Amino acid sequence: MNNQTTSNFYKVAGITALGLGIFFILMKFLNLATVVELRFVNFFILLLGVRKTLLDKRKANNGRLEYLPLATVHPGRAFGRAFL
């Protein structure tokens, strides 16, 4: 990883963590911490952070993500080994 990609990763991770923190604090102050359905918003906040990171990585590599083909091969290997 080059320096710019690493710094961008940490920036997006920090913004995602800050977003989660603000969301938790708002839920606490608005007395919504016990509403279980609102906790699913965590998933969407994290999903936005992961999406931003993947888009930045793809942009840095001229539209290619090298690890994506391997991400589909390895679960298949694990599944095959578990049942063979």
Please tell me whether the overall predicted TM-score, pTM, comes out greater than 0.75 for this model.
no
CB distance 38 to 27 below 8 Å = yes
Mean pLDDT by 10 residues, the chain (84 residues): 68 88 92 86 86 81 69 62 62
Domain span at residue 22 reads: 3-83
In this predicted structure, what is the pLDDT of residue 7?
72
- Domain count for the chain, please give it: 1
In this predicted structure, what is the pLDDT of residue 78?
61
